[in-house]
Structure 1
Amino acid sequence: MATTSLWRGGLSLRRGLVALLSARGLVASSTPAPYPSSSLGRSLVFAEARRDFPALRPCFSSSASPGTPLFIQTQETPNPLSLMFVPGRDVLASDGGGSRDFADAKAAKRSPLAQRLFRIEGVRGVFFGTDFITVTKAEDVEWSVMKPEIFATITDFFASGREILNEEVAAEEDEGDEDDEDEDEVVLMIKELLDTRIRPAVQDDGGDIRFVRFEQDTGVVFLELQGACAGCPSSSVTLKSGIENMLMHYIPEVREVVEYDPMDERGMPLSF
């Protein structure tokens, strides 16, 4: 009964949010929006940022462990230091698994697979999506040297049958999600736009964007770039020309979008 009540409460909250968005013209199907939905292509966010970026050309490689062959596809990202590895199976659970970012070896303690990947020389970041793994490398190491070991590490891990994340990680993050019902209307609308219009496109390119906070007195939205987005040469253009313009268009309370720097308490304003 408790589970049913929670589910119904979440459904009511969702319906109320949809009503708020409809009132502001965000989800009205009869009126074409000035920005296409994420399903219509990644041009929403990356039209300016990727104008000169070459078309993605996936390259294929395979590796196998005894009894568990695995075919891994690699895909380029807008960030030359990041590469997507697509194992052809779920990496995180699709039912709310979201994404996980490991910016350094210390953060990788939350995941046995991330720990193994950080042991590879040259690995500087690991990111898990629903069905892909993004690895970010150091500038002085070539992908041709790193890829064979990354392939073997991913293949052997999946063959072992171990869980991608430590159980306590999922438990802690589930607890954090329970605060959504206490958030105000503006924050809920910001999150809805990010989840439905922006994050799917960014995830297609091996990264993600995490909402950090919204300052009502200044109208500033703080977002953290993850995976291939972190350190990407086009990230400033993406945030300013894509995300900031969209949020300001639909939500008048938003006046600026700022990239959040985990090393800086306030965040790091973006500039060109």
Structure 2
Amino acid sequence: MSAISIYAEASPNPESMKFVLNSTLLPDGVSVDYPTIEAAANSPIAQELFGFDYVGRVFIAQNFVTVTKNQPELGWTSIIPELRQFIKSYVEAGGTLFTVDPAAEQKAAQAASAGDPTQQDGFTSQKIIDLLDNYVRPAVEQDGGNITFKSYHDGIVTVNLQGSCSGCPSATVTLKSGIENLLKRMVPEVKEVVAEGILV
């Protein structure tokens, strides 16, 4: 295994820090969000991270891990070196990241939540998914999070916010002024965008 380099990058959420690696953890477009240690049952690296008592959420994407702390009074300067060293050593040693393929899990979850849309809803949903994937997701990933499409029905788009977005003070503003405006402009059928996963 070649040497892993890793650096910490601040996110708009003051409680989340993005750790970027020069190594691929997941295929592009696949990500996993673990709001609790119980949710991380299929990810040994996430379970280990929850072992640090200040870790409250773990999000893993193509080449980064976003850690959200649950102790606001604890400054990042004291914990970044510890987390950076742990992730670097774990990946360099070839530690198991996942015991179940996240890409397969993601496909199954999307299929389950899709339900039985009408043909028109299905067409509109696909337009929304394409817009989110091409215009919104890259920007959200830059900030250490992710956005996924959940459903579209009667003009209402439901999305999931993950990683640093889930507890970010500016997530609601971004959702309404950025994402909702974009979708309404590009897909006239859209009336509103609502999000799951925002912790306020």
Question: CA offsets, 1:53-96, max 9 Å, x none?
Answer: xxxxxxxxxxxxxx8643211111111111111121112123x5
Partner in structure 1 of residue 179 of structure 2: 243
RMSD: 2.3
Identity of aligned residues (%): 39
| Rg (Cα) greater in structure | 1
Partner in structure 2 of residue 127 of structure 1: 59
CA contact (8 A) 2:162 2:197 kept: no
Question: CA offsets, 1:17-55, max 9 Å, x none?
Answer: xxxxxxxxxxxxxxxxxxxxxxxxxxxxxxxxxxxxxxx
> SS at 1:108's partner residue?
coil
Query: Are residues 169 and 91 of structure 1, via their aligned partners in 2, closer, same or farther at CA, if it must alter by over 3 Å?
Result: closer
Query: Are residues 191 and 205 of structure 1, via their aligned partners in 2, closer, same or farther at CA, if it must alter by over 3 Å?
Result: same
| RCO higher in structure (CA 8 A, sep ≥6) | 2
Return the offset for 1:131.
Answer: 0.8
CA contact (8 A) 1:116 1:153 kept: no
Partner in structure 1 of residue 148 of structure 2: 210
CA contact (8 A) 1:92 1:164 kept: no
> SS at 1:171's partner residue?
helix
> SS at 2:128's partner residue?
helix
- Residues paired across the two proteins, number: 193
> SS at 1:90's partner residue?
coil
1:252 aligns with 2:188: yes
Question: CA offsets, 1:145-199, max 9 Å, x none?
Answer: 222221222122112213321125443334445678x761011111011001111
CA contact (8 A) 1:190 1:247 kept: yes
1:233 aligns with 2:150: no
Gaps of 5+ in 2: none
1:188 aligns with 2:131: no
CA contact (8 A) 2:2 2:92 kept: yes
Q: Following the alignment from structure 2 to structure 1, what is the Cα–Cα distance between the partners of residues 123 and 180?
A: 18
Look up the equivalent residue of 2:126 and give its one-letter code.
L
1:71 aligns with 2:22: no
Partner in structure 2 of residue 142 of structure 1: 75
- Normalised by the length of structure 2, the TM-score is 0.86
- Normalised by the length of structure 1, the TM-score is 0.65
Return the offset for 1:100.
Answer: 0.9
Q: Following the alignment from structure 1 to structure 2, what is the Cα–Cα distance between the partners of residues 107 and 77?
A: 23
Q: Following the alignment from structure 1 to structure 2, what is the Cα–Cα distance between the partners of residues 259 and 172?
A: 21
Q: Following the alignment from structure 1 to structure 2, what is the Cα–Cα distance between the partners of residues 169 and 227?
A: 15
Partner in structure 2 of residue 108 of structure 1: 40
Query: Are residues 147 and 260 of structure 1, via their aligned partners in 2, closer, same or farther at CA, if it must alter by over 3 Å?
Result: same
Return the offset for 1:228.
Answer: 1.1
Q: Following the alignment from structure 1 to structure 2, what is the Cα–Cα distance between the partners of residues 261 and 172?
A: 18
Look up the equivalent residue of 1:113 and give its one-letter code.
I
